[in-house]
Amino acid sequence: MKPNYRRCISCRRLALKQEFWQIVRLYPSGKLQLDRGMGRSAYICPQVDCLQAAQKKNRLGRSLRTSIPPAIYDTLWQRLN
């Protein structure tokens, strides 16, 4: 079976899917969820630099085509610590 590669929305690094955090806009409800779900997904490296750039430049919002609530960023920051 072929490995699944994904690209970080912040640093554009290409790596295996398991190395990233996945943020999903669920279909059809449009709610945001971390790590699982069916719908539009964005992947981000679990690093401080990538998360800072994604939050500052609204890369998650543009990639998922929705507004990102602060609770999602808070959860991601807590995962770093």
Residue appearing with tokens 């945001």: 32
Q: What is the dihedral of CA 8, 62, 35, 4, to 10 degrees?
A: -40
Buried b vs exposed e over 39-57: b needs ≥16 C-beta within 10 Å? Answer: eebbbbbeeeebbebbbee
Please give the average per-residue pLDDT across 63-75, as a whole number.
95
The total domain count for the chain is 1
Q: What is the pLDDT of residue 1?
A: 87
Q: What is the pLDDT of residue 81?
A: 81
Q: Tell me, what CATH number does 12's domain have?
A: 3.30.1230.10
The parent domain of residue 55 ranges over 5-80
Please give the average per-residue pLDDT across 74-81, as a whole number.
93
Residues 6+ apart with CB under 8 A from 28: none
Please give the average per-residue pLDDT across 47-73, as a whole number.
95
pLDDT tens, residue by residue, 1-55: 899 999 999 999 999 999 999 999 999 999 999 999 999 999 999 999 999 999 9
